[in-house]
Structure 1
């Protein structure tokens, strides 16, 4: 018989060459062995699909595994094992690949052996005279000998080859498996074996790992990353938004087959958002693939088991036992996980498993198609199982899917408060929606939970509507927990919370009721703190909010923790404790607790920005206010947005954009309109706008801010200060002093602690203009003493030039307030500019806005007109201007003209 070479192989198949000597038959006559005919396609590297994404990282990983003489690519169906190995085989031209597409027929050992020999014989790296091209031919019962002959023939190859056995999981025949095991154990260094399988082959993998002979690529390596999903979509001509790409990646877990099916569906979908939202294992093409490639290979008992546990994700073994009624559920899950990587341990808790999302939704759809109430009954079982373990989120989710309104109501009453305090409003809102608006309106527990949920996202109108429903159905003798919920809802909705708060128990005593726990105690503390804050009992409010904060930290109530910090910030800022304000607000903004859909971080930003502004940290104030405005889109209440815009405008004013800053302040108030705000906020915003307008010489604009504030509040120190500044700007020294006196004496209440600092600084300025040097120094020392505990430095940056000059002259002589004096001089971007001009130049500059001629100015100052002209030329040069009008404008922009500089020369 003539031996044919590789070039003589017929197109439709490959005949394995026979040896020179045939085995003998039972009658003693030589008989050639039966040589299976091997189709060429079976031993040819398959072509790459038209839609193909080259995965360079995985190719590099396979190349890097050359030091291991055996590579295993193990993953469920559809993870791209064949495509990856085909691309890798084609992309490296230096190494020949012997490819075998293993199938069920290869469980006939002779056929498998023939395929191995034929594939190797086709490699150009095997020389024409090598024994691989002429044998060895399969001999039953001679696996060791045959493998040894093949290994000997391959040892002398001039260059290495790869032997790829694809779909090796098809081999179940013991002899066929023995062939593969022997090849792995005996092949020489010139041959690198690569096995691809849906399941781990029955080899001694631990021993191979220990010996460093094994390279493994598994499901987690083959799964597409989010970036690869985007690249695949782009290559298919689909341009999806990042959020759509992420959703598809989550739905498929990076499963290549699922992605390819999704791509085809997206190409035909009229609405891609709807398609992606509904894409699951129930989708026809995905369902057919899973049924044929995954489920069909499962035993009936395994299929039934997975169908029952598919209602839950994840699946703890205890829950699996409840759902299936099998005591061996844990070992069953473990066996399935070893059989298919589509069921894996989650790593969350020992004994907890997860089913691949598309397979799980396919099984769940199959369960629901079988009719009856089996799926809803299983959801009810799961809800109660999770509830017994105090796991609110899965308990509520399963209750919502159970089609049992009573069960859902029970779970909501039990878990609504913990969800609210942790900040899981989305889960709560989903459960309330499933319960239905009628059920929510008829149950005070659900109405109040819905109200507080709306408050958490700044939806005040919806919160008030829910609160009204709760009031209508509230029982006469409500349990403590219900009273607490109503009180908090009333407080934050702006309702009449006083009567409800009076019914609250003392938080220092144990609370009655079987459901009483740390969440209820925390809410009692919160309600008490709100009540005391409303009555301006700041010390009592601080104590209650501090206790609330400790409870929230101890019991991992994230949203309540941030809310407690913000309320402590409210107490601090209203007390003038700017240091504490900055500390607690920075903690809120740095927490990253996932509560960005609430007004809480926006409120923290508003208070922090204001504290930074008053403390002289102008750049930080502008940045925080800008960030708060961006973050507050859609969730910031009108008062919060007003505060942020006003602080941003005031910071811009301080940084040099004086005209723009004033415009922003005015627009903020105009847009705020007739909305309600606290007296303290009204005072703070009005003072910012009034001072900016007055420093720019816009008396009408200043009076507009004053009038707006006067309409909203009664008599206060802030109103007196604004009037006093106006009188000083109008050169009415005595009137200014008489207006500021009640503030200094404490006979009129102040809303803002820093107002006292402003009052002492104005008193200092008036004393200087009256040449009362001792009184001026006393006033400056008093201003420093008042500013130190508040950390209020901005008033010094806006003080009259004469006051800052006095501060410079006496710097170092203020004793315990020297530090605050140094910081006051360093604060504010405009401070260094004021020192450009001498005292006499500042005096002359102060008279330039008047209608006096230079001759009249000279007479007023009792100096010659030439001296005045010399001062004016020096002022022009230092300010970079060429006219009196320009000098006044630039001086105002730089803060060199205070509201009362017109009286700097004393009374006229």
Structure 2
């Protein structure tokens, strides 16, 4: 058969393996007929290619030939060779990243940040959407090849591939090579004539192809010999290659003396008899040892032999065997002894069967040698797998525990999950240290309820553990409290948190600083929150400052900025956030927590300084990642910024859609404070639209939340009462009870002053001033306006004043122009007025641009599914209801909406509806 290239070498752990395609040991046979079917017309290529046939039919060889042709015309090919380990969704994701990043690192940027934050269908869909968006944005023509796709049968892996096919943008084509039928739904692609399927009959060599193939491999092969071998193999490529190897190894043998080889069963028997038995003992022993791991190189081969054969000798031996056509391929670096090799599956099956006949002690020795070699190379997955196969389960656990800190520091907890899945569940339950790491993973994946149960059990099981391990558990409880928005839970462990025991490592001491800073912010001890970061030297982890992870120094600096922002010192906060964001982006995925936190908090500052468009741009491009990796504090701030920015831009439907998404997030994680803020913003949007029933429904839900947490001492949960009170103030104004609203404002003002929420005091002063003026008490209104301006000027506030009430700007203008006004405050008032006018001008120009292009909007541009979604959109139906109506996931609705926006040139839901209405497009009920 044509030389079968091994799959693309995968990026496993930290292995320094080339990512290039494997080099052929010989020439590939040109197969013009099949290539013509694969290529078709350049204007209408198949979006999906499935090559399904038994082993040895030349699936990989054909796709490698196609790859050469694609590359020659400027297309990019991402090649993923799959093995049994890749059935794990986390391993498959890493393979996809390793294949696509050499084309353009930006393709996987967002998907890499999302990967590993859960393996549930929603998390997988988010990751795939991030990946296809990266592919679409690259603009490159890409063919993604999944070789040996029959290894994929787990629900997560199959779901990921199904979504890749369904969501593939116009510049992506997928090709799958498989031995068996795939558990994928492909009928839609087949019905649309977007799929090409090739089977074993298509792949068999014609008589002329057999002749060409054999003349390259058998000197002196004439038509008679070729005809005979073609008949014996029925044109089966693997059979032709095997017979040619056998005849070369038996000088003088005649074609009549070989047996019929036309399927995997006869292949195995003939290979054993005519090829393997004719190898020298050292050659055969090396081949059997090298078949044990999924891939090998000369240094590993020498280690597995356990004999004084050096690496150079093994490299020479492997090269000679491959040169004889013995079903082996090299990844790259023909002269590099460390180059990786793979054995064709048919040959590997035969060699593994031979290995199983070896005595148990010898088999164990080989696995032990593989375990130690991979461990020394920091290739954790293979090391753990071979330790398990050697019967050394305890050693496998120690390997996992030994690399857990390294993976945590690199921000690669999903690799830890993948390693743990190699261990027996019973063993996992016995090892408290490993269970402690898995609890960290539960927080990482936002499985907060599961983590709480794990923590409760670990507190019992680790009662007699060393102090350093118990302190790790204390930190985990603190991180769980942060992610659960629970200062009360954090307060319960404050005495334990404050003093790290002797023996606590750098990760533990770094985590202590960040959790304490967060807690002090919500106790109103802002200076103390800052000092813990600024006065103490950052702990070192393996001799370096820990920058990434929620425990890193960059998140700590964000918390310093947060302490400033909560007080209202927005300019100081802005400087910190910008520096952190720049450094976190430079450092890459290990610092994603800090990057998202800095972006979300910086957006709050930009909005406060009256640049809502810049604030929205900053977070919209990171929105999916922000929601998955951020703490509730960041999510609240991003929600408020985006909602208000979209409302200011005249996009209330987009604002409501975003609130619906945040509401789903809050319900899923049980975050009542986030839910309260979400309801308050919905209240305000419905009030602006005059939707009385919706306003009162939001108020009823807020009342219920407030009642549920009445008397709670937790600073975060007690914020629910503040949010509910702000809604009651607005409802009293809505109902015309201005005196009642003022009483509530004054009571809330006292509470906020006690908690040090100075920025909120300026807002409340101005809100009260507007009400005082409506009641005819102009002197009081002026004085409260001046007090609001004094606070605002000291803190550099803009939106906190303008958002207090639609009539706030008129008061600011009136007071700022009064004779005898403090010149600084007068100038500050003028700046606020100028900023407000600029905001109005920007909003007006944005709406005008939408109207000018409305005539181009048409449902003819949309797919049937997109048209259904737009029809429901025009009924002001939120995404969640659209998903239920169509029987699809929420992420699927959002994905199609993004496509709709792109096709119509729209900025969001409101823009789509306005454009279609302006264009006179009619949509009936779906």
Moved more, 799-808 or 420-429: 799-808
Work out the CA distance in 2 between the residues paired with 1:326 and 1:535. Answer: 66
The answer on 1:414 being equivalent to 2:402 is yes
2:574 is matched with 579
Q: 1:350 to 1:424 in 2, by over 3 A?
A: farther
1:756 is matched with 761
The answer on 1:365 being equivalent to 2:359 is no
| Matched residue SS, 1:356 | strand
1:822 is matched with 831
How far does the alpha carbon of each residue in 1:581-635 deviate from its partner, in whole angstroms, 9 at most, with x for none?
A: 8537845984695579x99887777656555544434334555665555457888
| Matched residue SS, 2:146 | helix
Work out the CA distance in 1 between the residues paired with 2:531 and 2:332. Answer: 43
Work out the CA distance in 2 between the residues paired with 1:787 and 1:800. Answer: 18
Moved more, 703-712 or 339-348: 339-348
1:800 Cα deviation (Å)?
Answer: 2.5
Work out the CA distance in 1 between the residues paired with 2:555 and 2:475. Answer: 19
Structure 2: where are the runs of 5+ without partners?
5-21, 36-63, 82-95, 97-127, 133-141, 152-173, 187-196, 199-237, 243-262, 710-716, 846-926
1:331 is matched with 312
1:707 is matched with 703
Match of 2:28 among 80, 90, 94: 80
Work out the CA distance in 2 between the residues paired with 1:357 and 1:752. Answer: 67
How far does the alpha carbon of each residue in 1:372-394 deviate from its partner, in whole angstroms, 9 at most, with x for none?
A: 44455433334344545766555
Work out the CA distance in 1 between the residues paired with 2:470 and 2:589. Answer: 27
How far does the alpha carbon of each residue in 1:730-787 deviate from its partner, in whole angstroms, 9 at most, with x for none?
A: 6666665555456666774458553123123225535766443863662353243254
- C-alpha contact 1:744 1:756 (8 A) present in aligned 2: yes
Work out the CA distance in 1 between the residues paired with 2:266 and 2:506. Answer: 47
Please show how residues 346-385 of structure 1 align to structure 2 within 5 Å. 352-356=338-342, 358=344, 365=352, 368-373=355-360, 374-385=362-373
How far does the alpha carbon of each residue in 1:99-139 deviate from its partner, in whole angstroms, 9 at most, with x for none?
A: xxxxxxxxxxxxxxxxxxxxxxxxxxxxxxxxxxxxxxxxx
Please show how residues 582-661 of structure 1 align to structure 2 within 5 Å. 582-583=577-578, 586=581, 590=585, 593=588, 607=601, 610-622=604-616, 630-631=624-625, 648-658=642-652, 661=655
1:480 Cα deviation (Å)?
Answer: 0.9
| Matched residue SS, 1:423 | coil
| Matched residue SS, 1:418 | helix
1:560 is matched with 549
The answer on 1:688 being equivalent to 2:660 is no
Work out the CA distance in 2 between the residues paired with 1:465 and 1:381. Answer: 39
2:444 is matched with 456
1:417 Cα deviation (Å)?
Answer: 2.9
Work out the CA distance in 2 between the residues paired with 1:321 and 1:723. Answer: 77
The total of aligned residue pairs comes to 609
1:453 Cα deviation (Å)?
Answer: 1.3
1:248 is matched with 147
- C-alpha contact 2:549 2:594 (8 A) present in aligned 1: no
- C-alpha contact 1:423 1:595 (8 A) present in aligned 2: yes
- C-alpha contact 1:330 1:351 (8 A) present in aligned 2: yes
- C-alpha contact 1:558 1:593 (8 A) present in aligned 2: no
> RMSD of the TM alignment (CA)?
6.1
Moved more, 490-499 or 393-402: 490-499
Q: 1:640 to 1:792 in 2, by over 3 A?
A: closer
- C-alpha contact 2:649 2:843 (8 A) present in aligned 1: no
- C-alpha contact 1:552 1:561 (8 A) present in aligned 2: no
Work out the CA distance in 2 between the residues paired with 1:786 and 1:640. Answer: 25
- C-alpha contact 1:629 1:641 (8 A) present in aligned 2: no
The answer on 1:487 being equivalent to 2:492 is no
Work out the CA distance in 2 between the residues paired with 1:632 and 1:446. Answer: 28
How far does the alpha carbon of each residue in 1:353-412 deviate from its partner, in whole angstroms, 9 at most, with x for none?
A: 311364796687356434444455433334344545766555434434433211112223
1:525 Cα deviation (Å)?
Answer: 4.2
- C-alpha contact 2:298 2:311 (8 A) present in aligned 1: yes
Work out the CA distance in 2 between the residues paired with 1:377 and 1:607. Answer: 56
Match of 1:779 among 772, 775, 787: 787
1:810 Cα deviation (Å)?
Answer: 8.1
| Matched residue SS, 1:560 | coil
1:57 is matched with none
How far does the alpha carbon of each residue in 1:692-740 deviate from its partner, in whole angstroms, 9 at most, with x for none?
A: 4554556775564463564346587666655555555666666655554
How far does the alpha carbon of each residue in 1:157-178 deviate from its partner, in whole angstroms, 9 at most, with x for none?
A: xxxxxxxxxxxxxxxxxxxxxx
Report the structure number with the largest CA radius of gyration: 1
Match of 1:677 among 644, 652, 671: 671
Q: 1:542 to 1:290 in 2, by over 3 A?
A: farther
Please show how residues 250-265 of structure 1 align to structure 2 within 5 Å. none
The answer on 1:831 being equivalent to 2:819 is no
- C-alpha contact 2:609 2:797 (8 A) present in aligned 1: no
- C-alpha contact 2:510 2:551 (8 A) present in aligned 1: no
1:840 is matched with none
2:393 is matched with 405
Work out the CA distance in 1 between the residues paired with 2:822 and 2:274. Answer: 88
1:467 is matched with 455
Q: 1:469 to 1:829 in 2, by over 3 A?
A: farther
TM-score (normalised: structure 1): 0.52
Q: 1:434 to 1:414 in 2, by over 3 A?
A: same
Work out the CA distance in 1 between the residues paired with 2:843 and 2:67. Answer: 66
Work out the CA distance in 2 between the residues paired with 1:745 and 1:482. Answer: 41
- C-alpha contact 2:580 2:594 (8 A) present in aligned 1: no
How far does the alpha carbon of each residue in 1:292-344 deviate from its partner, in whole angstroms, 9 at most, with x for none?
A: 99989975424433543555577677655543334452222443576458676
- C-alpha contact 1:399 1:407 (8 A) present in aligned 2: yes
Moved more, 688-697 or 586-595: 586-595
How far does the alpha carbon of each residue in 1:219-255 deviate from its partner, in whole angstroms, 9 at most, with x for none?
A: 999698696879999xxxxxx9999953318999xxx
Structure 1: where are the runs of 5+ without partners?
1-47, 52-73, 88-217, 234-239, 253-261, 837-908
Q: Which has the higher contact order (CA 8 A, sep 6+)?
A: 2
2:851 is matched with none
Work out the CA distance in 2 between the residues paired with 1:303 and 1:517. Answer: 49
- C-alpha contact 1:418 1:519 (8 A) present in aligned 2: no
Match of 2:811 among 803, 818, 821: 803
Q: 1:394 to 1:757 in 2, by over 3 A?
A: farther
Moved more, 799-808 or 313-322: 313-322
Work out the CA distance in 2 between the residues paired with 1:741 and 1:723. Answer: 13
Work out the CA distance in 1 between the residues paired with 2:335 and 2:556. Answer: 37
- C-alpha contact 2:729 2:744 (8 A) present in aligned 1: yes
- C-alpha contact 1:310 1:364 (8 A) present in aligned 2: yes
- C-alpha contact 1:756 1:786 (8 A) present in aligned 2: no
TM-score (normalised: structure 2): 0.51
Q: 1:418 to 1:816 in 2, by over 3 A?
A: farther
| Matched residue SS, 2:422 | helix
Work out the CA distance in 2 between the residues paired with 1:784 and 1:618. Answer: 18
1:465 Cα deviation (Å)?
Answer: 3.9
Moved more, 779-788 or 263-272: 263-272
Please show how residues 877-888 of structure 1 align to structure 2 within 5 Å. none
Moved more, 282-291 or 599-608: 282-291
